[in-house]
Amino acid sequence: MAAGCCDDHGEGQQLIAPMQDASKVPRDLKAAADYLISGDSQLKIRPGVLSGRRVDFFKGKHAVNAFLRENYKRQPLVPPVPDRAAGETLCTTLNRHGFFLKVDKQPKQKTLTLVQQQSFEPESYYAWTYEVNTTKNTIIGTAVIAVVFAGVLFPLWPMFMRTGVYYLSLGLLGVMGVFMAMCVFRLVLWLGLKITTGRDGWLFPNLFADVGVVESFIPTWGWDDKKKKKSKKAVGAAGSEKAVASGSGAEASAASAVSSKDD
């Protein structure tokens, strides 16, 4: 009995580590896992801690939703997923091969606990154990090492390179200073309009929106029309109250007419 428990525990610890034998998995399953872990899948992931190491985890139904998106149909070598049942079957197969593992999560906590009996359920949570070693990650890692190494050797750089870096840093600081000044001016302008007119006017309203750099400065000016929306809602509510009142009056008059006829 003790030996069996130890074996189960050993298997669990082995599965928690990143997959090392992904090359032995069928190509279509690996392609499906590569899609699911990429940004194209739009999978909702959250950070957590499993057995002392940081992992990303997600809910089962979100993985099924990712396989039903149009981006998945454009992926090469992936198995077809025509409906939710096929998506759940594919997730079950990926779980069986150890790409991700079923975990328990307590409310408002990031600590995860591995579930011994692995299965796929749409409402359960799953932690990634599969890591993609892409060319992009390799290039980024190499570039970071090169930048750090070049920074260490900065005293040995030629004078013209050090002068160029100096002026470049001054330019970057200037850009940051202009941006901070614009943010302060934007806030002061909003506050002044709020006090004087009672309306919310913003310079570059999309400045902090989740858009591209160019779109952040389009449009130049925007008004927040919350008051108009509230007034429309108030007018609609008043109209509905009038309609109810008129309906009640009509019912009362009809009732009085019926009672007079009875008399």
Per-residue pLDDT of the chain (263 residues; tens, 9 = 90+): 434 444 444 444 444 444 556 668 899 999 999 999 998 999 999 999 998 999 999 999 999 999 999 999 999 999 999 999 999 999 999 999 999 999 999 888 889 999 999 999 999 999 999 987 667 778 888 999 999 999 899 899 999 999 999 999 999 999 999 999 999 999 999 999 999 998 999 999 888 887 778 888 888 998 876 545 444 555 455 555 555 455 555 455 544 544 444 44
180 domain residue, yes or no? no
Q: What is the pLDDT of residues 98-129, one digit of tens each?
A: 999 999 998 888 899 999 999 999 999 999 99
Cβ burial, residue 192 (10 Å; 0-12/13-18/19+): exposed
157: three-class secondary structure by DSSP: coil
DSSP summary character for residue 117: S
Strand bridging mode 125-128 / 221-224: unpaired
Q: Which residue has the tokens 């189960």?
A: 8
Q: Per the structure block, which two tokens stand in for 250?
A: 């009509």
Residues composing the chain: 263
For residue 88, the enclosing domain spans 11-133
Q: How many separate domains does the chain show?
A: 1
172 domain residue, yes or no? no
- Is residue 56 within 8 A of residue 45, CB to CB? The reply is yes
> Residue 62: how many CB atoms within 10 A of its CB?
16
227 domain residue, yes or no? no
**How far, in Å, CA of 129 to CA of 194, rounded?**
51
Strand bridging mode 125-128 / 53-59: antiparallel
30 domain residue, yes or no? yes
237 domain residue, yes or no? no
* CATH code of 116's domain: 1.10.10.10
What are residue 48's phi and psi, to 5 degrees? -150, 180
The answer to whether the pTM exceeds 0.95 is no
247 domain residue, yes or no? no
43 domain residue, yes or no? yes
The helix (run of H) or strand (run of E) holding residue 200 is strand 200-203
202: three-class secondary structure by DSSP: strand
159 domain residue, yes or no? no
